[in-house]
Structures are given as structure tokens and as C-alpha cells.
Structure 1
Amino acid sequence: MDIQGKTALITGASRGIGQAIALELAKAGVKRLLLLARDEAKLAEVAAKVSELGVEVVILALDLTKPVELNTALAQAWRDYGAIHLLINCAGVAHQTPFLQSQLPHMQEEIAVNLVGMYTITRIIARRMARQGEGNIVNVSSLMGKIAAPTMATYSATKFAILGFTQALRGELAAHNIRVTALLPSLTDTDMVRELKLFRWVVPMTSKQVATRLIAGLRKDEPEILVGWQSHLAVWFNRIAPMLVEKILLMAAPLSQERQKRYQRFRYARNAS
């Protein structure tokens, strides 16, 4: 994709990876950025940084889980600021807890934002892209979209689903000259991640590293952008030794030692039966 002179819309743009992508796109020569998130004050802070780089910026303080308001606001934005060439679905939430202690409202929020919200805005924008005959859509998944992690069951499920959604759209929308890409960062040092208990032996990368890799992948029209050497190594090992990777993940997960012992006893009993 040629980023120069294009208009991009980024969800989850008020912090973390979304903010970093906004800044890197501005440096790469994008003409206009539409920044979408729920927190208007934080969006304004990001917008000020983008403006300093000489890029026109528009703030959209919207909730992806409210489709009527979202549709109205995006239709108005399209009329006011012109066609959107690049949509980056970066908004997401994560709740970390062992599954048996998980809470239904947390699961519903993850699905509502990570999946339904992404579906809603993608449908709105993709229809307009199809009419204009061009566009690029980036869906931010995760390494957990390839390898599920203990204590992150619903989050992993949403990230797996994002990969399937992306693959399906890639085939369907190609006829309309719309490219659909999956971005898969590993553990990234963001506000959201700082609220989680980290997995042992995993070295977080920076949001800037993720954003820089995305720009490079877009320029090469890569359909799937896996970020970081840890991700490549984990995916490769999971292909050749999935049971070993499962054991390593269990050892790395922030579970109590007693839970790990119970799990090992269960696995031993199952294998012995």
C-alpha cells in the first residue's frame, strides 16, 4: 500500500498500539488521520502529537458497542473529510483470570469490543470502500490468535476469531480491490498489559516496534504480519511440537503452583487411562 496522501481511521487510538500506529502513519506521510476511541481527553492528547507532525487529525469519541451512533458519526465523517483508504481495527479489551473464576460480564465485554465492535465498524467502512473500488483493512489480532494462553481464554478466543474473520474477508473483498491484513503482535508494553500478570520468560516489545512493523508490512502488502522474533519462534515450535508448547505455556502462565500440580496430575491420569 502507498500510504502517502491517504486518509486512515484507527480505532483504539487513544493509547498503546493504536496511538503508536497513529504517530508512525503521520511520519510515513499519511494525509489525514481519524482517531476513534471512547476517551475524548486522551484522544485530544494523541491528536496534539499528530498535529505537530503536520498531519490533519480528526477526533471521533465513539463507543464501538453502539452501532447506531457509530454508523451516524462515520457517515458524517465520510461526507465531511472524504474517503477513508485505510481502516485499522486496534480497539480491544482483555480480562485475565483462570476460567473457573471468570465472570460473565467480563467475557461479554471482550466479545462486544474485540469482535462485535470490530465487525460493526468494518461492515460500515468496507461497504463504502467497495463503492469507491479500493481500500485496506487491518485487523489487530495477537500471538494469542495463534497460540491460546491459560488465564486468557476469552481473549484468546476473540483473537483466534479475528484471524478467521480476516481470512474470510480477504477472499470476499479482493474483488472490490480491498486488501485485508492481520497484525499479530506478541506481548506489548501498553497500559492494558500493565494491568495483567505477565507470563514468565516473555520479553514485552514496545508499541513503536509494532507500529513500525505494520508500516513495513503494509508497504509490502503482506496478508499476515507477525511481529517479533518471539512470535515467529513460538508459532514455529507450535507447528512441530504443540504439546511441548502447551506445557511451556502452563509453566509460564501466572497460575499458582498448586493449580499447576493439579493440572499435571490430571494430565498424568488421563494419559495413563
Structure 2
Amino acid sequence: MYKYPENIIVTGASRGIGRAIAEAFARRGCSVLINYNQSVESAITLYEKLSSENLSVRLFRADVSRRDEVKSMVDYCIREFGGVDVLVNNAGIAESKLFIDITEEEWDDMMDVNLKGIFNCTQEVLKHMISEKRGKIINISSIWGIVGASCEVHYSAAKAGVIGLTKALAKELGPSNIQVNCIAPGIIKTDMLSPYSEEELEELRQETPLMRLGTAEDIAACALFLASREADFITGQVISPNGGYVI
């Protein structure tokens, strides 16, 4: 049976993959800090649901692209739970647009949330983890960070950056007994698929060897494993739960 660390921060945890990850850790007895930014109602609903089941959860609003807000979040987690054992860098935004139409502001926003957000959160938790000589960082990338997606160049570039950051940081933090890994989900049934028509979703299903789209719970299961003690010898890796869509 997997043994899980005690204190977890999940960024972007109000909806979709982040919500499933936060819920999965809380139900396994972990203390979970639910980070959110814009999705206030969804975050409160999740917090109230888990709290009503007497699970150990806290709620904190922070824009991961803002360093001062991230620092306040990490400090709060340490005060409430006594430390940070696992950071799941899940917060992200997506957009489908022709490359030539991407504005400088849209490019910067994509990098600020999807890549700089990981930089901010990871640096802040490492101030605690390095002194403790233990910790796990799990970064959420995408299959498009591996193979690229037409009309999503800024998203693909940011998610590819997450993969590069993961591999480099794993080498740097190995001597401190901190594991850094990356999950690169495939086509997952979340709000990010809302722009797709049912016909387009069916095409994606047909192109997936397992003949189904992924669920947020599929990704949460992967995060649970990487956070467990059974994954202590795994670092710098990119695991892609994608049903065979990208092999």
C-alpha cells in the first residue's frame, strides 16, 4: 500500500485536474492546501465539500504569476500544516489561436502563468524543502509540450518549458533528496475541451488507441503515485497518461 507525504500544495485546484488531485490527496489522509485564483465559487464549493467530510484542507487565493502572493501562500501552508512535503504545480491557462494572431500580451500571460508560476511556487517551497533534505515537486505539462499543437504555439512552448525545467531541476535537487517529475496529460475531459464540438471530441476518441478520452482522475492517480514513497527513486521523468495518443 502506498504511503503518502503529509502536507500538499496543489495550485489551480478549484477545477478539472487540479480539483481531482486535491481531492485524491485529501481522501488519503493528507493535509491539502487548495490554491485558486479566479474560480472563487468552485474553490469554495470544493473546500466546503471536503471539510464537511472532516478532511484536512485549507483554501488560499493566489495568482501564481505574482511572487508576493505565492510567498504568502507558502508561508500560510507552513503555518497551518507545519511544512510542505509535496508541491503540485498544476495552475495553467490555455488558448487556441493562430500563431500570427497571438499578441505580445497573450504570449506573456501564457508564460507568466504556465511557466513563471512554476518558477515562483517552486522557489518558495524549496526554501523549506532544501533545509529538510526531502520533498517532491510534480509539474503538470501536456502532450503538446512533447509534440506541439497547431494553433497552440504559445501553450505548447510554455508546456515544453515545464518539461525542460523539470529535467534540469531534478539534476540540481537530487543531492538534496528532492524528486522533481512531470506529468504530461493527453486529451482529458475538463473545461479546456469546451471549445470542441462533439464531432471533434469523437475524432479525438477514435485517434486514441484506448478508445476513450482521459479523466481528471486518471491524472490524479499518476500524481498520487509520484508523491508516494514507492516513487522515491524516480526523478526527472515525464510520465504521459494519454491513452496511447502520443507514443
Q: Tell me the SS of whatever aligns to 1:229.
A: coil
The equivalent residue for 1:79 is 79
Task: Please list, as runs of the form range in 1=range in 2, the aligned pairs for 1:112-127 lying within 5 A after superposition.
Answer: 112-127=112-127
Match of 1:58 in 2: 58
TM (normalized to structure 2)? Answer: 0.86
Identify the residue that residue 192 of structure 1 maps to in structure 2. 192
Q: 1:196, CA displacement in angstroms?
A: 5.3
Q: Give the match's secondary structure for 2:150.
A: coil
Which residue of the other structure, out of 206, 210, 220, is the alignment partner of 1:211? 220
Corresponding residue for residue 242 of structure 2: 228
In 2, the alpha carbon distance for the partners of 1:17 and 1:182 equals: 14
**Structure with a larger share of its residues in helix:** 1
- Counterpart contact for 1:214–1:225, Cα < 8 Å: no
Q: Is it true that 1:148 corresponds to 2:162 in the alignment?
A: no
Q: Rg: which structure is higher? A: 1
SS in 1 for 2:136: strand
User: Alignment length, in residue pairs?
Assistant: 231
Deviations 1:33-85 (A, max 9, x none): 00111133321111123224432111111111221232134224313321010
After superposition, the Cα gap between the structure-2 partners of 1:123 and 1:212, relative to the gap in structure 1 and judged at 3 Å, is: same
Paired with 2:20 and 2:244, the residues of 1 have a C-alpha distance of 20
SS state of the match for residue 32, structure 2?
strand
Contact 1:96 1:196 in 2 (8 A): no
Cα RMSD, aligned residues only:
1.9
One-letter amino acid of the counterpart of residue 213, structure 1: C
Q: Which has the higher contact order (CA 8 A, sep 6+)?
A: 2
What are the Cα deviations for residues 103-157 of structure 1, in whole angstroms up to 9, with x where unaligned?
Answer: 2222111101001111011100012110111111000011111100101101000
Q: How does 1:1-273 map to 2 (within 5 A)?
A: 2-3=3-4, 6-30=6-30, 32-38=31-37, 39-195=39-195, 201-203=203-205, 204-219=213-228, 220-221=230-231, 222=234, 223-231=237-245, 234-235=246-247
Q: Distance in 2 between matches of 1:134 and 1:53?
A: 30
Given that residues 138 and 226 in structure 2 are in contact (C-alpha distance below 8 angstroms), is that contact kept between their aligned partners in structure 1?
Answer: no
User: Are the counterparts in 1 of residues 26 and 56 from structure 2 also a CA contact under 8 Å?
Assistant: no
Correspondence for 1:265:
none
Cα distance in 1 for residues equivalent to 2:34 and 2:23 = 11
What is the aligned-residue identity percentage? 26
Task: Supply the distance in 1 between the matched residues of 2:183 and 2:191 (Cα, whole angstroms).
Answer: 19
User: Matches of 1:76 and 1:60 in 2, distance apart?
Assistant: 8
Instruction: Give the TM-score taking structure 1 as reference length.
Output: 0.78
2:110 and 2:158 in contact (8 A); partners too: yes
